[in-house]
Amino acid sequence: MELDRLQAFWRALVEGQELDPEDPDTRWTSALSALRDLMHAAYVTVGVAAPGQVTRTTLVGHVLHRRHSERLVGVAARPASDVLIENRLSSRTAFRTRADGYPGIRVAGFAFAPVPRRRSENRSWLVVGRRDRDPVMRASHRALLTQAARGIGILLDNEALVSEYEHLAMTDALTLIPNYRFLRLTLARELARANRHGEIFTVVMVDVDNLKKYNAQHGHLAGSELLQQLAQLLQSEIRATDVVAKYGGDEFLLILPRTDSEGGLILSERIRRRIAHSLRGRGGERLSCSFGVAGFPQDGRNFESLISAADHALFTAKEEGRNLVVASLPSTTPSGLSGRTVEVISPRGRSLRRTGTSAERKGKAGPQTTGKKKRRSRAA
């Protein structure tokens, strides 16, 4: 009978690998249910101690629970832990103290086993709790616990491996920031969230000015180093809730949740100034970037239209002389400015400009300054 249950446990582990990787709860429920049946237990907990956080995954009945804490307690906190079986406990408090048990469950004993890991140094363990009516766990169960712990270790290592591959698939190899694939997925989620809750957000396209000329002077390796520096700088300037990702060969895209276009302009101008002040080329020359800002929903309601608006604003920044921040304006622009109107931030100040063909731009009068004050809708 025990052999049959052990086979069922391993079968659940193998079949779990074929389940949807986006649904780990189903995989864990299947594996821990088989383990609970194997040990005739009331519930099963798998613990993992990562730096700064301890995660416990527990199956009680048919419900999976996850808890997070900052420290280890009970037998898992001992410097060296081996398989331990304890069948007599005086109270629930003693159980929680000794075995880090699940709150609210009255148990008569528990079994503990360390989980061996091949792909992680994070300490991992297995706790099996039994009630009075459950069979007593004996010394002969040590072999079952050891086998079960190995199986759980394989499951944890496989998850770590999948996570590592997913991270690599979503990371730009040069700059080590999220790549275009990650960008599309993230922007799709942000569009869905903003549509569902009636919220706003802004995207900013960033491009290095005169990078082709810089590469010709210093070589493509120098250009690659420049992109790496810029990626680090962009990451240091955004909030934890914001995203910076590689969009093209030398273009980056910022996704700014719950931020209007004005907030995107303010942030972009702050970054533009920092780049102009601190980023230097191999020859000591000053470097700059241009920025195109577009907001949801006024500039676009889907991926293509929003990216197109940001790209158009960036193109305008390049056409107007580079080292600029440009944003499309809402439809409520002054009636005296016909055609497509953008707001431009340059070292000389802010202005409204009507954009059109190159011929139109050559023939138009100088930019009209709005004189409006910066409205701080985003944390500086």
pTM exceeds 0.85, yes or no: no
**Residue 199 structure tokens:** 């919220």
Q: What is the pLDDT of residues 202-220, one digit of tens each?
A: 999 999 999 999 999 999 9
Instruction: Name all contacts of 20-23 with Cβ < 8 Å and 24+ positions apart.
Output: 21/162
| Answer CATH for 180-363 from 1.10.150.120, 3.30.420.40, 3.30.70.270, 3.30.1180.10 | 3.30.70.270
Scored b (16 or more CB within 10 A) or e, 311-334 reads: bbbbbbbbebeebbbbbbbeeebe
State the fold for domain 2-169: Beta-Lactamase (3.30.450)
Q: What is the pLDDT of residues 233-263, one digit of tens each?
A: 999 999 999 999 999 889 999 999 999 999 9
Domain boundaries, the chain: 2-169, 180-363
Q: What is the pLDDT of residues 342-380, one digit of tens each?
A: 666 655 555 555 444 333 333 333 322 223 333 333 333
Residues whose CB falls within 8 Å of the CB of residue 239, separated by 6 or more in sequence, listed in order? 256, 379
Packed helices 180-197 and 303-319: angle between N→C axes, nearest 10 degrees: 110
